[in-house]
Each structure stands twice: as structure tokens, then as C-alpha cells.
Amino acid sequence: MQVVSINAGKAKQVAYRTAGEPITASEKLPIEGGAWIGADGVVGDDSGDRRNHHDEWMKVYAYSIEDYDYWSSELGAPVGPGQFSENLTTSGVDLNAALIGEVWRVGGALLQISHVRIPCQTFKGWMGASGYDETAWVKRFTAAGRPGPYFRVLEEGEARAGDLITVEERPSHDVSVAELFRALTTERALLPRLAQVEGLKPWIYDEVRKVL
């Protein structure tokens, strides 16, 4: 388990973002050398929609080289670090099989898995603007079940490409990143299982109570 790259991007206006202000920081590029992961995420990284994409549960987003290999095959073109707007590109770990609440040491930073990527129209627009087939992108990404996790920052620290990733703590439940994603998107029958998971976004527990 190791870091392939730490990625960051600046918010800018784009033509494809139609909801709200046309601002996004979808384009994220690998940072040369070390990057500081602070309480607000990777220093130097912006978010165009801080209300929906940068709250305390969503400070650092991760995607893996292994999942990019899958998408490269599906899309018929190479897809690589930063394309899905992740801050942390990894190798050697199945991110979607990781458990919600796992605590990871990434370089000098301590991160906790706290949420999942839910695809949106801005993501679709960014893929099209990047030259990929964006047809039914939200549905395709959802059906693939490879969302990647978001992390909260427990301890600040520096990270860089090549740093090892170690799991320092695992929760007692067995709810994975992939299962949380399915519960929130395509398999609402899984929602009751989320009641055993601590530290999720408050609105998720509202959804759990509805089905209970």
C-alpha cells in the first residue's frame, strides 16, 4: 500500500458546470515533492463547491491505480492520477473494500475513512471536457461500484509519492466503502446496516431512520 501521487487543483470557471456558480476545481495535478495535508485537506487544493464537496467528512478524496486500470479498459483510453479529482492516488490497496472508519497513516498525516464519492453532473462534465466519453457517466460510474473513499483529517502531516500507507485502526463493524456507496445509491435495503457505523454524515442517519 503506497502513495502514487498527491494531487491538487485551483478553482476556475468552466462552461460545463451548470448548477449554481460555474466554478470547479475538478482538474487536479500531481504535486512535485512533498505536500502538506492540513486540517482543511491538501494545502494548495481548492474546491468549487465547499458545501457539498469539502465538509469535515470530505477533506481528502482517494482513488486507486487499480480502479483506473478498470476505467482505462472501459473507456478505451488511458486514465490516470488526478483525473477523477482525487487528492490521493494509491496503489496496492482495494479502496472500496476498506471499512468506513478505518484510520490510515499516509506519510506523516493520519486520515480516517468517513464518506464515499457520489457522482454528479459536474463530474460528468469534467470527463467530457477531458476528452472521455461522458455518455450516461453518472449511471456508469454508479453501476461500476468503484467510488473511492473520502477521509477526514485526524492529524496533519506531509505526504509524497512513494510514501507507505498503513492501517492503524479498524472498526468493529464490517461495512465497507463499496457497501456504503450501494446503500446510498442503488441498494437502499442496505441502509439499516449503517446504523452500526459511527461518524457518518447526519443526513445518512436520517435516511436510516426512514427505513427503520
Instruction: Name which CATH class applies to 2-174.
Output: mainly beta
pLDDT in tens, the chain (212 residues): 999 999 999 888 887 765 556 778 788 999 999 999 999 999 988 876 666 677 899 999 999 999 999 999 999 999 999 999 999 999 999 999 999 999 999 999 999 999 999 998 889 999 999 999 999 999 999 999 999 999 999 999 999 999 999 999 999 999 999 999 999 999 999 999 999 999 999 999 999 999 98
| CA 51 – CA 48 distance, rounded (Å) | 9
Residues ≥6 apart with Cβ < 8 Å to 178 = 96, 97, 145, 146, 147
DSSP assignment of 160-211: -TT-BEEEEE--SS--BHHHHHHHHTT-GGGGGGGGG--S--HHHHHHHHHH
Whether the CB-CB separation of 153 and 60 falls below 8 Å is answered with yes
Give the strand order in the sheet containing 41-42.
Answer: 41-42, 35-38, 157-159
pLDDT of the residue at 49:
66
Q: What's the pTM?
A: 0.92
- E strand or H helix at 12: strand 12-13
pLDDT of the residue at 45:
87
